[in-house]
Amino acid sequence: MNRHWIKKPSFSIFIGFIFLFFFNPLLWAANSSSFFQFSTINALLEGVYKGELTIQKLLQKGQIGLGTFDALDGEMVIIDGRCFRVNSQGMVEEVTADETTPFAAIAQEPSSNSRNLFLIDSYEELELELNKMIENPNLIYIIHIEADFQTLKARSVHRQTKPYPPLTEVTPDQAIFEFTEMSGDLVGFWCPQYFEGICVPGYHFHFIDKDLKHGGHLLDCSFLLGSVRVSPCYDVFMQLPRNQEFARANLAGKRIDEIQQVEK
Ligand SMILES: [Zn+2]
């Protein structure tokens, strides 16, 4: 038998597999998450803190995410499909399924291979490193970082009473926690600027430590070695509140200065 007859088809099959691997949209889609958000950041800025969506329903949409609770009662961290509250004393508790949220974002766990992050001195430096992994900045990305943090600064907000003040009046009173030598997870999102008014544009992370005892909204951090997984979100879903507080809120206008003030 002429050996060329054997080699040529197998070479074609090999090329075919390579082509399928790199150009098959189904394979690309495999490393993507779907993003779900309840309510908008501008509604939260306006003081729409009334919880409406149950944690049970929220957790049907993904395994990893962040948000807050009815009456702005602490920072929400969702990890491994479980929902935790970091209250204003810095204590972490798992939240029951019947509690409600006025604002939350959730996605599927990123399925990409993890990449290492080295010698991160600050949140700004972390952002610069993450920028290299956001291949399409016009998409939302879900981001999961695990690290042994040298330092980490986080905050939580106090439960509010009615009439609810706008968020800019709440955050000056926030509780700030500073941790050293703590292993944990950052869960969060990259959100493009054009989602302004809906999401927090740029990066937004919440922290929870490996013992599930400490956490909060990330303000700063440093670490020597960490790992990160990211997934783009091509499918973006929103659900909006049905309550009167949301209906009456003025959600118009560019409010990036207010977002910077309450998130940084
Ligand atoms: Zn936050």
The pair of structure tokens assigned to 111 is 């399925």
- Whole-number Å distance, alpha carbon 234 to ligand 1 midpoint, is 22
CB 144 within 8 A of CB 153: no
> pLDDT by residue (tens digit) across 117-154?
999 999 999 999 999 999 999 999 999 999 999 999 99
Domain around 103: 32-263
CATH of residue 236? 3.30.1330.80
Residue 74 lies in a domain: yes
What is the Å distance from ligand 1's center to 262 Cα?
9
For tokens 């999961």, name the residue: 144
Give the torsion sign (CA, 60, 66, 68, 69): positive
Contact 48, 246 (CB under 8 A): yes
Residue 251 included in any domain: yes
Beta strands in the chain (DSSP E): 33-38, 53-54, 64-68, 75-79, 82-86, 92-94, 100-101, 103-107, 115-120, 140-156, 175-191, 202-209, 215-239
Distance 263 CA to ligand 1 centre (A): 6
CA distance 55 to 34: 18
Rounded to a whole number of angstroms, the distance between the first and last alpha carbons of the chain is 72
Give the mean model confidence (pLDDT) for residues 94-104.
Answer: 98
Residues 56 and 101 sit within 8 Å (Cβ to Cβ): no
pLDDT at residue 176 in the model? 96
Residue 22: inside a domain: no
Distance in Å, CA 219 to ligand 1 centroid:
9
Q: Is 216 a residue whose pLDDT tops 50?
A: yes
Nearby residues of 214 by Cβ (< 8 Å), 6 or more positions away: 86, 90, 92, 154, 177, 179, 182, 184, 207, 208
In a domain, 222, yes or no: yes
Residue 173 lies in a domain: yes
State in Å: Cα 108 to ligand 1 middle: 18
**Number of domains the chain contains:** 1
Q: Is residue 11 part of a domain?
A: no
Helices (H), ranges, 136-253? 167-170, 244-248
Tell me what percent of the residues of the chain surpass a pLDDT of 90.
81
pLDDT at 25: 44
Burial 120-145 (b: 16+ CB within 10 A, else e): beebeebeebbeeebeeeebbbbbbb
- What's the alpha-carbon Rg for the chain, to the nearest Å? 21
* Residue 193, pLDDT above cutoff 60: yes
168 C-alpha to ligand 1 centroid (Å): 13
* Two structure tokens written together for 105: 């974002």
User: Does 47 map to a domain?
Assistant: yes
Strand partners, 58: none
Would you put residue 145 in left (φ > 0), alpha (ψ -120 to 50) or beta? beta
Is 169 within the bounds of a domain?
yes
Cα 95 to ligand 1 centroid, rounded to whole Å: 17
43, containing H or E segment: helix 41-45
| pTM beyond 0.85 | yes
- Calculate how far, in angstroms, residue 111's C-alpha sits from the geometric centre of ligand 1: 23
Q: In whole angstroms, give the CA distance from residue 217 to residue 101.
A: 16
pLDDT at 200: 94
Identify the weakest region by mean pLDDT among 29-38, 97-106, 142-151: 29-38
Q: How far is the CA of 116 from the centre of ligand 1 (A)?
A: 24
Q: Tokens at residue 223, please?
A: 């670490």
The token pair that represents 121 in the structure block: 């001195």
| pLDDT of residue 88 exceeding 50 | yes
Is residue 221 within 8 A of residue 120, CB to CB? The reply is yes
Alpha carbons 221 and 188: distance in angstroms, whole number:
14
